[in-house]
Structure 1
């Protein structure tokens, strides 16, 4: 408890799923948290979360709107956070999308939107907050990637897989460039987690069973486990951890794939 007392954190895509869990764990450890949201529908969830963590953990929290793939909105968002909570010391780049479209029918629009959300957002937010982190000689940047950062997880999301691999390598590049300023840049790679983003996918009992069976731990991960990993990387306990991709996947990415691990194309996009 209180490993992050009085630190200022910003979580992109923080209103639900993994982002929500990360917000809760950062707040539990004493950080003041800005919860980023984009759509009007996510505002209600973000604001409810803000109220809950403020009351439960006695910290300061705020909600802040912004499409993190657009520079103008990122600048405005971080201006608001700095004005209310102070300069961002912990940045968690959690916002991400995973539209299921096979390669041969994949649209240019989906490709561009995926890279804008999953990769460009990390560039824009990290570049902006790093400037103040350099002045303070302190900062933690944590990117939420995926098992898809290291292995091909599905044959129908080449845009998602390649974007997450790019995010992982961007993490390493930033770690090298920013490390001399006492800024740690790391990533967390979850395996499949039953969030609302995966709700339709995991609604098929056969797919759910195959996902569980393919994992060496014979279970899915949880949002809280990703929050726990983010807290560790944000804490002083991880001061010498830099440029690392922390896989929270039950050992999935170190297991050689077997034919029965894979779903056919049609089942995966139902």
Structure 2
């Protein structure tokens, strides 16, 4: 057994040397192959690779997956109105140039995150400082994120890093301005409500006036039409009466006298003071309608 012991030691050494010459690059990694401290090769495709044993060559693996930087504490940023806002943000980034990333940061991902965080703060300050609170909170929030993404990505690419996305997660008012901002917002809402009420009242008056005018026009048109119809009817009635009178004037006079008697004595309490030989009683005792002889 002692005779084979040196061979076993040699075999172990050979296996150790061979294992140091083989390395695996996974789908999520990039590999930098160094020769005597200098980068000789950059490998981004996954697979099994070979190299010289240390110290002639060694390998550094870098994670090329999408990574996230989140602010631990909200950034205190001042707006164009000199109002302080507390802003939470996060950034998605990844390594696109392993060689340049290693030259800048080594294999220290934490150093890269600190560098990117500083650039994010600068970009956030530059975008928020020129805008009002209302623009930051609502109307231009998307524009701010686009500006930050463009600025930070342009600064990060020379470092071997691509910034994929920048998001403002939460925007709060600083405690010292919250109350004043709320009061101003309340005043703006009240002003808008009053404006809408005034507009509604003006529209109501306009609609009411228009309806009244249309009503008067319709009534005037209807009255004119009624008078026209009434006049036509009166004319036709007069024509019919004239025709009837011309056919038998005596009977027409007798009929009209009967109507006068009926209307004059329609009630028991009616009293008529008139001479008996008046023209009114021409048909009372005389069916021919001749006037009674005067004494």
* TM-score relative to the length of structure 1: 0.21
Q: RCO (CA 8 Å, sep 6+): is it higher in 1 or 2?
A: 1
By percentage of residues, which structure has more strand? 2
